[in-house]
Amino acid sequence: MCGRFVSASPPDQIARYFDAEVPETALDPSYNVAPTDDVYVVRSDGGTRRVTPVHWGLVPYWAKDPSVGNRMINARADTLASKGAFKPSFQNRRCLVPADGFYEWKAVPGQKVKQPVFIHPADGGQFAFAGLWAVWRDPGASPAELEAGGGRLRSCTIITGDPNDKVAPIHDRMPVILPRSAWDTWLDPELHDLDVLAELLVAAPASSIDLHAVSTEVNNVRNGGAHLLDPVPELTGEVPGQATLL
């Protein structure tokens, strides 16, 4: 799964990396992005890529209220075509979710506490998570509000799939990370062939990522700052409830 990630790069740098327009609204850098936060996505209208802030947690158009998005931060690659909440977006509203890296938690033998691990691009660039987006219209909004562009919520979800060899010992799923060669196909608003799209949803090569243990400070979403990315010795030990360091 992907429940926490890092989005600390400046928006103009993200735009350059993805060959996209800079967003009109800039988000604060975050080293501990959590579900329901606003995040950047890269979308395309067929001619121009745009970096846009949206709500993390997909809210389908048919939802009664936005809270349903709290349960839709991730979408499984193998069920996109069969889930009513995700299929319309899979067909028509795909995006990339830029990230400097993501966190996962590794079980420590004999311990209740898990070891947080930061997983990041080996080349120092950005991850391009495969994502879906949607627009929800507030049923209580007036026609005038909708006409003025209000009463709408744009939201996204991150697609997860099988892990590569580096992530598999930590978790049985990981975000689908699309290579640059797949961006145009994934973002093409005229492409609706689900079989073609599904072929893109494979695990990134293990060689494309690096990872290292980080502080358990990241466990608390209130903690932030670049120090969260600093490598630390991994937890170890076999005494339940008593973690030691290598």
Give the separation between CA 58 and CA 60, rounded to whole angstroms.
6
Amino acid at 32: N
Active site residue 104: yes
Task: Report the CATH number at residue 175.
Answer: 3.90.1680.10
pLDDT at 145 (0 to 100): 59
Identify the bridge partners of residue 67 per DSSP, sorted by sequence position: none
pLDDT at 245 (0 to 100): 39
pLDDT at 213 (0 to 100): 98
Q: Which of 104, 145, 156, 234 is catalytic?
A: 104
Give the domain range for residue 45.
5-245
DSSP 65: S
Active site residue 2: yes
Identify the bridge partners of residue 136 per DSSP, sorted by sequence position: 153
Q: What is the pLDDT along the chain (246 residues), one digit of tens a residue?
A: 789 999 999 999 999 999 999 999 999 999 999 999 999 999 998 889 999 999 999 999 999 999 999 999 999 999 999 999 999 999 999 999 999 999 999 999 988 899 999 999 999 999 999 999 999 988 776 666 555 456 789 999 999 999 999 999 999 999 999 999 999 999 999 999 999 999 999 999 999 999 999 999 999 999 999 999 999 998 875 544 444 433
pLDDT at 236 (0 to 100): 76
For residues 179 and 164, the answer to whether their CB atoms sit within 8 Å is no
User: Could you report the per-residue pLDDT of 58-107, keeping only the tens digit for each?
Assistant: 999 999 999 999 999 999 999 999 999 999 999 999 999 999 999 999 99
Q: Residue 176: is it exposed, middle or buried by C-beta count within 10 angstroms (0-12/13-18/19+)?
A: buried
Render 93-110 in DSSP notation, one character per residue. Answer: -EEEEEESEEEEEE--TT
Q: Which of 2, 95, 145, 238 is catalytic?
A: 2
User: Could you report the per-residue pLDDT of 219-237, keeping only the tens digit for each?
Assistant: 999 999 999 999 999 887 5
The total of structural domains in the chain comes to 1
Give the separation between CA 97 and CA 42, rounded to whole angstroms.
6
Give the separation between CA 203 and CA 96, rounded to whole angstroms.
15
Label the pairing between strands 115-121 and 209-213. antiparallel
What contacts 5, CB < 8 A, 6 or more positions away?
33, 99, 100, 101, 102, 103, 129, 175
